[in-house]
Amino acid sequence: MNLQHLQDYLHSHAQGHSQPYHQPVCAYLYDLEHLRRRADMLRRSLPSQCMLFYAIKANSDEPILKALLNHTDGFEAASLGEILRVRAIDDSVPIVFGGPCKSDIELEGALSHRIALIHVESEHQLRRLNWIAWQRNEVADILIRVNPAHVPQHATLRMGGQATQFGIEEAQVPSLLELIQTLSNINLRGLHIHAISNNLDANTHLALVKHYFDLAEDWQQRYGLKFEWLNVGGGIGVNYADPNAPFDWENFCDGLARLVSAHQPGFKIVFECGRFLAADCGCYISEVIDIKSAYGKHFAILRGGSHHFRLPVSWQHNHPFLVLPQDDWHYPFSRPAVHNAPVTLCGELCTPKDTLAREVHVERLRAGDRVVFLLAGAYGWHISHHDFLSHPHPERLFLDN
């Protein structure tokens, strides 16, 4: 995110201050040029056998999808609604389709919207897809989604390596491979494994990918199969606790290149990243309306909060932020402030859960200053409960050159 955009935005917002009571600042800013550059950089550093898809649930706004259209290899959709969002901007870009549920209508929709690969998550889903494809006189190209028996531990969320609703337990895969051979309208193209989210460690991520290679190679050998695709999911993390120590992508790509040249896999490797692509392209900015203290602790109350930006509450972390001082003060009375002390940043909702950072030290924070939450481009607006309490939505601006 380019901070100059923030200054420009605040400058333009200040132009509207002629009325006695101004609308406080509250906005998401997304930097599309930054997003495109980031996607290009990530893609360039991957070995040639790899592809980068964008998992659109992280941020499915049309300008974001359009920005990434020719800067990724395709999109991962997790519902028919997401498929339609992608097809609204392009009728041929490759889409892969995941998600544990997939109703018949969604499976049929996936076929009619020419999804490249459907990630099958259970035996019943497989049989339903075969049956629907048979009625349409089509063959469905699929990957089977595996829930591997072992995954590394360094992640915020885990969808695999333990009992979850996602994918097919590793031990059940062989019988599914046998079943697939009897299904007339299914074409197995490979495996999909998305087992963790927000992994911050490049070496564990590499170990994870190597483990997936081993699984794929073992099953190919045992069942005389030839996979064309190994989708290794998303899950590359963003370091909200210390934005200056990001996931070491360069090191990861070096290791991956060594892994690919050692294994010479016959399949292509797909990454379907959401967070790692989009987090850094957006920020959420909000104005401090009030500062107060209670029982020895300081609180800043912001216009906005978790109904716009639920991520910190959902993950129970202190979201990284910057203070943008605003020197004008137009009230004829003193300005509430906190100096050199820990402060808790709260939103405008009537619930103690509406807290975006707890007891974080600030040099100075005053009513009227603005707070900018960084790394808010992924899983920010899109996972939030916008209409709880009926406050106005934030402005949402997509900036481009």
The catalytic residue positions are: 350
Instruction: Name which position in 94, 98, 304, 377 contacts ligand PLP (CB under 6 A).
Output: 98
Asked if residue 71 binds ligand PLP (CB under 6 A), the reply is no
Distance CA 320, CA 246 (A): 13
CA dihedral 214, 218, 219, 221 (to 10 degrees): 140
Instruction: Name which position in 78, 86, 283, 343 contacts ligand PLP (CB under 6 A).
Output: 78
Asked if residue 190 binds ligand PLP (CB under 6 A), the reply is no
| Whether the Cβ atoms of residue 244 and residue 320 lie closer than 8 Å to each other | no
CA angle 92/94/96 to nearest 5° reads 135
Distance CA 209, CA 47 (A): 14
Encode 188-240 in three state secondary structure: EEEEECCCEECECCHHHHHHHHHHHHHHHHHHHHHHCCCCCEEECCCCECCCC
Asked if residue 235 binds ligand PLP (CB under 6 A), the reply is yes
Q: Token pair for residue 104?
A: 């018949």
Q: How far is CA 364 from CA 289, 291, 323, 326, 336, in A?
A: 15, 11, 8, 11, 11
The residue count for binding ligand PLP (CB under 6 A) is: 17
Asked if residue 167 binds ligand PLP (CB under 6 A), the reply is no
Nearer to ligand PLP by Cβ, of 55 and 129: the residue is 55
Distance CA 291, CA 176 (A): 59
Instruction: Name which position in 61, 73, 76, 280 contacts ligand PLP (CB under 6 A).
Output: 76
**Least separation in angstroms between CB 343 and ligand PLP:** 30
Q: CA torsion sign, 328 to 329 to 334 to 336?
A: negative
Asked if residue 369 binds ligand PLP (CB under 6 A), the reply is no
Q: Token pair for residue 215?
A: 């699984």
Asked if residue 125 binds ligand PLP (CB under 6 A), the reply is no
Nearer to ligand PLP by Cβ, of 109 and 237: the residue is 237
Asked if residue 354 binds ligand PLP (CB under 6 A), the reply is no
- Neighbouring residues of 19: CB distance < 8 A, sequence distance ≥ 6: none
Asked if residue 52 binds ligand PLP (CB under 6 A), the reply is no
**Least separation in angstroms between CB 181 and ligand PLP:** 25
Instruction: Name which position in 13, 275, 370, 382 contacts ligand PLP (CB under 6 A).
Output: 275
Asked if residue 197 binds ligand PLP (CB under 6 A), the reply is yes
Three-state DSSP at 162 gives coil
Asked if residue 366 binds ligand PLP (CB under 6 A), the reply is no
Which residue's Cβ has the minimum distance to ligand PLP? 234
Q: Which residues pair with 53 in a beta bridge?
A: 74, 272
**Least separation in angstroms between CB 144 and ligand PLP:** 13
Which span (85-93, 273-281, 301-309, 329-337) binds ligand PLP, by CB under 6 A?
A: 273-281
In the chain, what are the helix, strand and coil shares in percent, each to the nearest 5? 35, 25, 40
Asked if residue 272 binds ligand PLP (CB under 6 A), the reply is yes
List residues near ligand PLP by CB under 6 A. Answer: 55, 57-58, 76, 78, 98, 194, 197, 233-236, 272-276
